[in-house]
Amino acid sequence: MDRIKQFAIFSLCLLVLFALMFFANFTEQTTGQNTSYTPLYKPAQETVLPPKELFVETWGLIKKNYWDNNLNEQNWANWKKRYLHKIETEEDAYVAINSMLASLNDPYSKFLSSDEFKEQNNSIDSKIYGIGINIASVSGKIYIINVIKGAPAELGGLRPGDMILKINGNDVKGDNVFQTANYIKGSLNSFVDLEILRDNKRLTKKIKRAEIKIKTVESEIMDKEIGYIRIVSFISSEGPIEFIEALNKVKDTNALILDLRGNTGGLFQNAVFVANMFLDKGNIVKVIGRGGHNSSYTAEEKEYIYDKPLIVLVDGESASASEIVSAALKDNGRALIVGTKTFGKGVVQKVYTMPNNMGMNLTIARYLTPNGSDINKKGIEPNYFVEITKDDFEKNNDSQLNFAKNMLKTQIERQKLAGAH
């Protein structure tokens, strides 16, 4: 096996273990702070609880583990008083729990129905039920930027450049990419109705959702000397291995572009893994949990590191794990960031397996960049602000990618000249 791949597998195991150790220690630290709460069960999908017990179990789990001790400055006991005697059905419990979570003013903490939890787990396994398109928001309008070959979208006649007007009758003008994607996703073999605008003509398409086989990492060599790696998402458990395979393909180039545009995040350990492959030393990220408990992740010693000129492309949809990587490389002076300001998600969620085949994503920590910056709701400013305009999009001109390529070509030429002397 290739030495780089061997290192990848070994490092992945270490990083996953490191992450699990942190979360385990964090849970230990917080358990003693609320001794009045005793878990009703050991979390397992096969556990079935009546609606009221499900509510109480979740109420306690949030009280014990949410990153903010003050639970958004409220008396958490009031939620029991408000809902406990009104819950009769599982749907009642679901509504009550999500009302509690909404009171935290935290969009990332959410209780998941059995279908939602299954869909999330499928995403981690790189199984997505949808139609096979990538979308972007340009000037408040949603465009299709890529159609996966052989996917339902391609078979149904959708093309890159199509503007999406409506999904199942819902007008998406002004919606962000996350909202639009949720309209498109759905159960296997169900249908989604889209109204699109193409060449000033309105068209309707009825597309059947299917399981989309996706690779989360893509790579190619541009202009013979610049490597290009695009990470679509950090959510796949196969992501690190896919990344190493991509890096192997471009490792002999003179420079690299890492494209994180449209990448809304994923698994924390995947972000640490990718950042680590470009750093020989320095901090990657600092995670601060409940009560100030913190853990710092630093670059590990390794036999291989990609140390050639590097540019990272980002945009307003680059979030979470994408921002961990971007900030680590920017703050350590390892890469230049090109594009627009990132989304600004500086908190970490833990996925809890709940009774009745349900789940919960709960914010248990926040993170700081190596320079100590809290980017939550602020984002990361690029070194070079380059915006893709509506005109660029209509002419299929990727101004951000072209800017990055030109910068790297200049660096490569300077290195060649320096080497000649």
Give the pair of three-digit tokens for residue 3. Answer: 């030495």
Q: Is 281 marked active-site?
A: no
**Residues 160 and 145 sit within 8 Å (Cβ to Cβ):** yes
CA distances from 172 to 128, 281, 392 (A): 21, 45, 22
Q: Is 286 marked active-site?
A: no
Which is the catalytic residue, given 118, 308, 345, 350? 345
Bridge partner list, 193: 206
Please state the φ and ψ torsions of residue 25, each to the nearest 5 degrees: -65, -40
Which is the catalytic residue, given 106, 175, 315, 331? 331
**Residues 207 and 191 sit within 8 Å (Cβ to Cβ):** yes
CA distance 287 to 349: 11
**Residues 217 and 239 sit within 8 Å (Cβ to Cβ):** yes
Which is the catalytic residue, given 320, 326, 350, 405? 320
Instruction: Determine how many CB atoms are found less than 10 A away from the CB of residue 205.
Output: 17
Give the pair of three-digit tokens for residue 292. Answer: 């100030």
CA distance 167 to 172: 7
94-102 long-range CB contacts below 8 Å, 24 or more apart? 94/358, 96/55, 97/54, 97/55, 97/58, 97/59, 97/360, 100/58, 100/59, 100/62, 101/62
CA distance 329 to 385: 17
Q: Is 259 marked active-site?
A: no
What is the DSSP secondary-structure string of 239-251?
Answer: HHHHHHHHHHHHT
Angle between helices 321-331 and 268-276 (to 10 degrees): 30
What is the DSSP secondary-structure string of 163-216?
Answer: EEEEETTEE-TT--HHHHHHHH--STT-EEEEEEEETTEEEEEEEE-EEEE--S
Residues annotated catalytic, as ranges: 320, 331, 345
